[in-house]
Amino acid sequence: MKLQPVFNYPKAFRDPDSFVEYHGEMVPDPYQYLEDPDAEPTKEFVEAQNKITYPFLKSAPSREYIKATLTAMLNYPKFSVPFREGEFWYHYYNPGLRNQYIIRRTKSPDDPNEEAEVFLDPNALSEDGTISLSSLSFSKDGSICAYGISEAGSDWHVICFKNAVTGEELPDKLRKVKFSSADFNKEGTGVFYACYKDSKSGTSEGLRDQKLYFHRLGTSQDEDLVVMELPDNPEWIFSSHVSDDFRYLLAMPMKDCHHAQVYIADLTNWSPEKPFPVFQHVVKDFDHQYSYVANHGSRIIFRTNRDGAVNYKLATLDLDSGVWEDLIPHHSQDVLDFCQPLAGDKLVVCWLKNVQHFLQVFDATSGQLVYSFDDLPPCGTIQSFQCRHDETWFFFKQVTFTSPGTIFKGEVISSDEGQPAFPFEVYREINIPGVRSKDYEMTQVFYPSHDATKVPMFILSKRLPNNLKNGNQPTLLYGYGGFNHSLMPEFSITWIHFLSLFGGVVAIANIRGGGEYGRVWHEGGKRLKKMNTFKDFIAAAEYLIKENYTKPDKIVIQGASNGGLLVAACCNLRPDLFGASITRVGVLDMLRYHKFSIGHAWIDDYGSPEEDKEMFNYLMSYSPLHNLRKLPGGQEYPSILLMTADHDDRVLPFHSLKYIAEIQHLMGHQKRPLLIRVETRAGHGKGKPTGKVIEELTDIWCFVQITLALNVSKTMDF
């Protein structure tokens, strides 16, 4: 299909008097007015852009087939791992195309086909499916449920309560909650939670003044007890946890997304009528990460990277003596990804080795290895592991690139020799009609980056009788590279659908900035080393070309949020290397990102332009918005589709709006399209209803088909 030679893009007003000063340098910001999502000029600009974008996307010759096959692929039963609360076993469930997952329950976990009772159905809360569940917790005896609901994809949610025995909805509602769930006290009479109840900050401004509260059921939220507040540090946010034995409340204020101080309060003799006990401040700096695992009396077990444990370890803190000791030491190569307490004195540890999970069990007192789950299929991800610290049952779910999941059920069994056994069996296989794992193959490669660092990458393709390396394969290259987040071998209907439509390959690059190899890998792609992230991704594309998989005009790159920053920066650095780019809810203005919503918590990863001249210059060197330019000699940027949403209150839509206004201003004459799709009643991505997911993915593949001039293989039979 030939591209339209010229697009008549809307002319956004450029304010010649809008500047921001950094270290004596005046930086033009002509579209700063677009930062207000509710202003009329912003609304008019969005409407004008959508009037160009949507007709273009609807013009794809195979649109109906793309949408029909995607809908068919998504129409399969989806199950989470079961978990026990009180006398019931709960699980998340979607029979196929429901907009939101349902929570169901049964009396027994033994029969996966037992008829289940619907406990919570968010689909009944809105006609368009845009109200979703955001959190779920239960009282100790399972009689009261606290659940969060979010509207239109917002990070803001309301915590509601339900009597799990009678099914009665309780009148309590906790509002202005963000980045917090609810933890019950031992008696089940109330919950600890964090919210911005007294904050003056709104949707767009930087979030301030979060406090930790206790809410007593049956009372007004206005009467809630302030458990902890830090008025001298209004931008810090609270992570809190009630210990498994309900003895302690752990409050962990964070100034970024990773590092926390730790306060611990003993709840043994406390009741809501009494003054709250004094917190013990056990970690007073922000140098390391801490997450609660379990406790045996006053001996608290943390997963942490303190004391040089760059791949994490389990360490214990004795609250009585204040002494820290290693329980499971740091491993020089494998990353300790997560840990769950089991059967009183066991710890299930999930390790990350070359971007693949494996499970082991350790003694919680001695730290000695007890058991290894050696019989699991290779190259998988443990997506969920459910157990209880004081019971012997366990369930876990393993997924791969080609399988949506196998749920296993197991039990800890004591033996006469004293060495426990951990037998497990398949509990449920999740299958998609018409999609067979054996029809696909996955290869993991390690390619050299600009500084000779070996970077892992997964290459997924259909199993073909002929050679895949013909230099002409349609290629989807995906990356993230930030915030210590690892891209694991997980099933994605998006990637399977791409291969079914276009053939070719899907490549997932595990670039620096992620957590695939622990703290060193993360820090190798953040702050003044952020350029490594982009160069790793560029090297991935160069590897695919060198190995004769593909060529530049057959490559589409895709990333979301921090991954949106990635693909936009790479388009600026190497516009010649890619045919198309999909930037979803991207962080694109690196001089202003930290002034809105939760952006200040990202400074640890990105740095702030205000902190010093060096950091300002570094951010200016790659900020996607500030590095757009008019390309010389008839060169063009790749075809670009930006995607954002009007209710995204994490990465606000102004990032994408400013970027599209500037690139259309500079390069609106090029033949390749420069488009933005602004979704309504949607947020950053979490809780998006199935109907909107189908429309969004259909639009993405239509954009890819048109801009890369791809033929669709109409061989799927559903």
pLDDT of 149 reads 97
Q: Is residue 320 part of a domain?
A: yes
**Rounded to 5°, angle at Cα 222 from 218 and 223:** 60
- When the pLDDT of each residue in the chain is averaged and rounded to a whole number, the result is 95
For residues 184 and 141, the answer to whether their CB atoms sit within 8 Å is no
192 has a pLDDT exceeding 70? yes
Average pLDDT over residues 217-230: 97
pLDDT of 1 reads 44
Name the residue with higher pLDDT: 465 or 404.
404
Q: Is residue 329 part of a domain?
A: yes
Q: Where are the alpha helices (DSSP H) in 405-517?
A: 493-502
pLDDT band at 606 (very low <50, low <70, confident <90, very high): very high
pLDDT of 466 reads 79
pLDDT of 201 reads 46
Average pLDDT over residues 171-193: 97
Same domain assignment for residues 419 and 542: no
Same domain assignment for residues 547 and 416: no
Render the burial of 518-527: b for 16+ CB within 10 Å, e for the rest. bbebbbbbbb
pLDDT of 434 reads 86
For residue range 362-404, list pLDDT tens digits in order.
999 999 999 999 999 888 999 999 999 999 999 999 999 999 9
Residue of 403, 561, 581, 639 marked catalytic: 561
Same domain assignment for residues 539 and 394: no
| Residue 63 DSSP label | H
Same domain assignment for residues 544 and 656: yes
Q: Is residue 238 part of a domain?
A: no
pLDDT of 200 reads 60
pLDDT of 718 reads 58
Task: For CA atoms 522, 525, 526, 527, give the dihedral sign.
Answer: positive
| Residue 551 DSSP label | -
Tokens (6 digits) for 137: 């917790």
Average pLDDT over residues 298-303: 98
Q: Is residue 82 part of a domain?
A: no
Same domain assignment for residues 684 and 551: yes
pLDDT of 379 reads 87
Last residue of a domain, one of 393, 409, 431: 431
Residue of 648, 649, 656, 699 marked catalytic: 648
3-state secondary structure of 420: coil
Q: Is 486 a catalytic residue?
A: no
For residue range 111-159, list pLDDT tens digits in order.
888 899 999 999 999 999 999 999 999 999 999 999 999 999 999 999 9
Q: Is residue 333 part of a domain?
A: yes
pLDDT band at 206 (very low <50, low <70, confident <90, very high): confident
DSSP line for 201-267: --SSBBP---EEEEEETTS-GGG-EEEE--TT-TT-EEEEEE-TTS-EEEEEEESSSS-B-EEEEE-
Q: Is residue 149 part of a domain?
A: no
Q: Is 258 a catalytic residue?
A: no
State residue 661 phi and psi, 5-degree precision.
-65, -40
For residue range 542-566, list pLDDT tens digits in order.
999 999 999 999 999 999 999 999 9
Last residue of a domain, one of 368, 401, 431: 431
Domain count, the chain: 2
Residue of 581, 647, 684, 699 marked catalytic: 684
Last residue of a domain, one of 415, 431, 447: 431
202 has a pLDDT exceeding 60? no
The upper half-sphere exposure of residue 12, i.e. CA atoms within 13 Å in the direction of its Cβ, equals 29
pLDDT of 716 reads 74
Other beta carbons within 10 angstroms of residue 717's beta carbon come to 8
Average pLDDT over residues 24-28: 96
pTM of the model: 0.97
83 has a pLDDT exceeding 70? yes
Same domain assignment for residues 634 and 530: yes
CATH code of the domain covering residue 359: 2.130.10.120
Q: Domain range spanning residue 674? A: 19-72+526-707
246 has a pLDDT exceeding 60? yes
229 has a pLDDT exceeding 80? yes
CATH code of the domain covering residue 54: 3.40.50.1820
For residue range 502-534, list pLDDT tens digits in order.
999 999 999 999 999 999 999 999 999 999 999
Same domain assignment for residues 403 and 543: no
Distance CA 219, CA 170 (A): 11
Same domain assignment for residues 410 and 535: no
Q: Is residue 230 part of a domain?
A: no
Q: Is 648 a catalytic residue?
A: yes
Q: Is residue 239 part of a domain?
A: no
For residue range 670-698, list pLDDT tens digits in order.
999 999 999 988 888 889 999 999 999 99
Same domain assignment for residues 550 and 424: no
Same domain assignment for residues 534 and 388: no
